[in-house]
Amino acid sequence: MSEVDLEAAFAGKTALVTGGLGFIGSHVARRLVRLGARVRVIDALVPDCGGNPFNLHDVRERVEVKVADLRDAEALDPLLAGSAHVFNLAGQVSHVDSMTRPLDDLENNARAQLCLLEACRRRAPEARVVFTSTRQVYGRPRYLPLDEAHPCEASDVNGAHKRAAEQYHRVYAAAYGLTSVVLRLTNTYGPGQLVKHPRQGFIGWFVRLAAEGKTIEVMGDGEQRRDLNHVDDVATALLLAAASPQTGNGTYNLGGTPPVSLRELAALLVELSPGASWRLVPFPTDRARIDVGDAFASYAAIQRDLGWEPRIGLREGLAETLRFYRQNLDRYR
Amino acid sequence: MSEVDLEAAFAGKTALVTGGLGFIGSHVARRLVRLGARVRVIDALVPDCGGNPFNLHDVRERVEVKVADLRDAEALDPLLAGSAHVFNLAGQVSHVDSMTRPLDDLENNARAQLCLLEACRRRAPEARVVFTSTRQVYGRPRYLPLDEAHPCEASDVNGAHKRAAEQYHRVYAAAYGLTSVVLRLTNTYGPGQLVKHPRQGFIGWFVRLAAEGKTIEVMGDGEQRRDLNHVDDVATALLLAAASPQTGNGTYNLGGTPPVSLRELAALLVELSPGASWRLVPFPTDRARIDVGDAFASYAAIQRDLGWEPRIGLREGLAETLRFYRQNLDRYR
């Protein structure tokens, strides 16, 4: 995929993954283990945020795991000392929850990030930090696909905080010499995602219902289009961003498959899941308030600079994901 | 200045001014009193933030003042009940302090704003909220003058939080039906400003030194250009924004005088202040890190929509301000 030799970049290096028991963080941690890095994970296991020790069960003995909050300097500082790389994935990702509990979102997505950067300043001033932001910082799209120049006008509290955290990373890089790369993720799916409740986005919930052979409820007319990334492609993007000097302090969209409508996605999941079905239901008020309509992103910039592009097709990726949840649903319910 | 009849807009109405013992807030509160409004003020008197009871001494008996923090729902909720207007000026305004105490800035500029909006949602869902933001949300200018379409890439923590608070106001307006107008202020000066220390921007500190007949130290080469607004002009802009239905959920720059360099400004203050002098000094590291170079804003949008423009010339405004501080410096030192 790229000229970058990831093994040379990470073998023997120490890397800290925040939110490393979570969905994407655990995939990054596992990849780093395989690349020969010394991997440290910090995860607060905040209820409903997606952290799940099962996500790292296969590499558990090769990862140093600390269950603690980024706001806890005593726990965080020793993990940062000697870390060349920080993959900063900790956060609260539910847009719905950010509206019902905005102050919790502030703690997990703003204060925690400031605490991490303060700790980097103290203990790892040379670190390269890759921060995972979200397409939601753009708010309701003014044009599609979204590119990095699109104005950031968040349509929910979560988007406002993720944008603030992006800016913290920029400010600390400019003021104190850290390197920080911001990746704005689109909808990510794959093994290890939280599927306990539907508040972290539609995809995990759809996958669970399909794996259980139940009925997927698609809100509205189902014509809203989205792009999706398999988590393995996302993990590759994070590793490339960390390893490539030319990303220094850049901001990049990820972007996924050709956009699909939610009804197309539901139909595909049903096709892959004997017994499952789908139907349309009206939009609940709390979601209608913050829904952004069609939303998908251009990954032209990261393709140009890092050679990254999504490799895993939607049908293949969903089939693998459904197999995973059919086998492991008890670990995620 | 405008077609808007401010007396008709505010007479008999209840208005809450947050940060109402502060520099700009106290001017707004006084104007509201004169316009016949029932004025409530909440101010936490956070040390170094600019709140000063002397700022309202002349209208103290006609204003209901509550010394409390926006994060204190028990204090805030009763003040919001029945308030048709909220002038939301509470905040921490020092960019330097936001870098040395980022978590305090988070509390005062982000959490406090979320708490205010949550309280509005509970107790004043129909209120019109005018939020004072700052030109600093733009960060280092890519072009000048700054207009509202300029990207927001804050160069310090304060700018990131002020931008987050702007977005909260937008999100709550869209989700819950409040009206919120955001004004992005440029450098404001005038009677009542904090002049105790130099960390709230250069202008108050320069004025104090001039009023004391001391030496103004201009950092760098003094060629950095800024625009300035007299506080009376700023208060007028806030009142117009609150009173004018056509501002619904808009964002407007204020912008001031034709830009002047800091050395020109220092020279003018010295000219108006017998005994004072000025000289150049090197930039301290903590300021160089977050300095944005030339910065001034276009007020074309608010002029077009509300007929607002700055009325008080720099020489006239500074002369009045210097007179004020010569008489009242003991109250602000």
| Cis geometry, peptide bond prior to residue B53 (ω within 30 degrees of 0) | no
Contacts of B265 (CB under 8 A, 6+ apart): B203, B206, B226, B228, B314
CB contact (8 A) between residue B174 and residue A157: no
Taking all residues of chain A, what is their mean pLDDT, rounded to a whole number? 94
3-state class (DSSP) for residue B216:
strand
For the segment A15-34, what is each residue's pLDDT rounded down to a tens digit?
Answer: 999 999 999 999 999 999 99
Higher pLDDT, A233 or A289: A233
Q: How far is CA A148 from CA A135, A143, A299, in A?
A: 10, 12, 9
**Tokens at A24, concatenated:** 């994407």
3-state class (DSSP) for residue B288:
helix
Phi-psi region of A238 (alpha: psi -120 to 50; beta: other; left: phi over 0): alpha
> Beta strand pairing status for B225-226 and B260-261?
antiparallel
Nearest chain A alpha carbon to B169:
A157
Contacts of B151 (CB under 8 A, 6+ apart): A149, A151, B138, B142
- Determine the longest span between alpha carbons in chain A, in angstroms: 56
For the segment A245-277, what is each residue's pLDDT rounded down to a tens digit?
Answer: 877 779 999 998 899 999 999 999 999 999 999
CB contact (8 A) between residue B103 and residue A111: yes
Of B115, B156, B170, the CB nearest to A153: B170
Backbone angles phi, psi at A43, to 5 degrees: -150, 130
How many beta carbons lie within 10 A of that of residue A62, not counting itself?
15
CB contact (8 A) between residue B161 and residue A160: no
CB contact (8 A) between residue B118 and residue A102: yes
Please report which confidence band the pLDDT of residue A64 belongs to, taking 50, 70 and 90 as the band edges: very high
Residue B288 touches partner A, C-beta closer than 8 Å:
no
Burial of A272-299, coded b for 16+ CB within 10 Å and e otherwise, reads bbeebebeeeeeeeebebbbbeebbbbb
Assigned superfamily of A7-190+230-255+296-312:
NAD(P)-binding Rossmann-like Domain (3.40.50.720)
CB contact (8 A) between residue A175 and residue B289: yes
Structural contact between residues B216 and B209, judged by C-beta atoms closer than 8 angstroms = yes
CB contact (8 A) between residue B174 and residue A115: no
Predicted local distance difference test score (pLDDT) of residue A1: 46
**Tokens at B199, concatenated:** 């960390």
Chain B residues in contact with A116 (beta carbon < 8 A) = none
What is the distance in angstroms between the Cα of A161 and the nearest Cα belonging to chain B? 7
Nearest chain B alpha carbon to A176:
B289
Chain A residues in contact with B163 (beta carbon < 8 A) = 163-164, 167
Predicted local distance difference test score (pLDDT) of residue B249: 77
Structural contact between residues B188 and B234, judged by C-beta atoms closer than 8 angstroms = yes
Residue A289 touches partner B, C-beta closer than 8 Å:
yes
- DSSP letter string, A54-98: GGGGGGGGGEEEEE--TT-HHHHHHHHTT-SEEEE--S---HHHH
Report the distance separating Cα B66 and Cα B333, nearest Å. 23
Sheet strand arrangement including B251-253: B63-67, B38-43, B14-18, B85-88, B128-134, B179-185, B251-253
For the segment B41-86, what is each residue's pLDDT rounded down to a tens digit?
Answer: 999 998 888 899 999 999 999 999 999 999 999 999 999 999 999 9
For the segment B202-241, what is each residue's pLDDT rounded down to a tens digit?
Answer: 999 999 999 999 999 999 999 999 999 999 999 999 999 9
For the segment B159-195, what is each residue's pLDDT rounded down to a tens digit?
Answer: 999 999 999 999 999 999 899 999 999 999 999 999 9
What is the distance in angstroms between the Cα of B35 and the nearest Cα belonging to chain A? 35
- DSSP letter string, B43-93: E---TTS---GGGGGGGGGGEEEEE--TT-HHHHHHHHTT-SEEEE--S--
The answer to whether residue A59 scores a pLDDT higher than 90 is yes
3-state class (DSSP) for residue B264:
helix
The answer to whether residue A2 scores a pLDDT higher than 60 is no
Considering the four listed CATH numbers 3.40.50.720, 3.40.50.11540, 3.30.2000.20, 3.40.50.150, the one that applies to the domain covering B6-189+229-256+296-311 is 3.40.50.720
Structural contact between residues B111 and A103, judged by C-beta atoms closer than 8 angstroms = yes
CA torsion, ordered B94, B95, B98, B100, to nearest 10 deg: -100
What is the distance in angstroms between the Cα of A55 and the nearest Cα belonging to chain B? 32
Q: What percent of chain B is modeled with pLDDT above 70?
A: 99
Report the distance separating Cα A272 and Cα A319, nearest Å. 7
For the segment B132-154, what is each residue's pLDDT rounded down to a tens digit?
Answer: 999 999 999 999 999 999 999 99
Predicted local distance difference test score (pLDDT) of residue A97: 92
Predicted local distance difference test score (pLDDT) of residue B1: 46
Chain A residues in contact with B161 (beta carbon < 8 A) = 164
Nearest chain B alpha carbon to A287:
B175
Q: In a mutagenesis test of the B interface, which of A97, A99, A106 is the best target, namely the one with the most B β-carbons within 10 Å?
A: A106
The answer to whether residue B40 scores a pLDDT higher than 50 is yes
Predicted local distance difference test score (pLDDT) of residue A156: 95
Tokens 């963080």 belong to residue: A25
Selection from B95, B96, B129 nearest residue B113 by Cα: B129
For the segment B273-323, what is each residue's pLDDT rounded down to a tens digit?
Answer: 999 999 999 988 777 777 778 999 999 999 999 999 999 999 999 999 999
Residue A193 touches partner B, C-beta closer than 8 Å:
no
What is the distance in angstroms between the Cα of A305 and the nearest Cα belonging to chain B? 22
Predicted local distance difference test score (pLDDT) of residue B195: 92
Nearest chain B alpha carbon to A138:
B167
Report the distance separating Cα A133 and Cα A36, nearest Å. 26
CB contact (8 A) between residue B155 and residue A171: yes
For the segment A72-130, what is each residue's pLDDT rounded down to a tens digit?
Answer: 999 999 999 999 999 999 999 898 899 999 999 999 999 999 999 999 999 999 999 99
Predicted local distance difference test score (pLDDT) of residue B245: 80
Q: How far is CA A10 from CA A240, A326, B167, in A?
A: 11, 34, 38
Nearest chain B alpha carbon to A170:
B155
Selection from B168, B152, B301 nearest residue A149 by Cα: B152
Please report which confidence band the pLDDT of residue A326 belongs to, taking 50, 70 and 90 as the band edges: very high
Structural contact between residues A293 and A156, judged by C-beta atoms closer than 8 angstroms = no
Taking the complete model, does pTM exceed 0.90, yes or no?
yes
Q: Which amino acid is at A244?
A: S
ipTM score of complex = 0.94
Q: In a mutagenesis test of the A interface, which of B116, B133, B171 is the best target, namely the one with the most A β-carbons within 10 Å?
A: B171
Residue A161 touches partner B, C-beta closer than 8 Å:
yes
Domain boundaries, chain A: 7-190+230-255+296-312
How many beta carbons lie within 10 A of that of residue B74, not counting itself?
7
Report the distance separating Cα B215 and Cα B206, nearest Å. 9
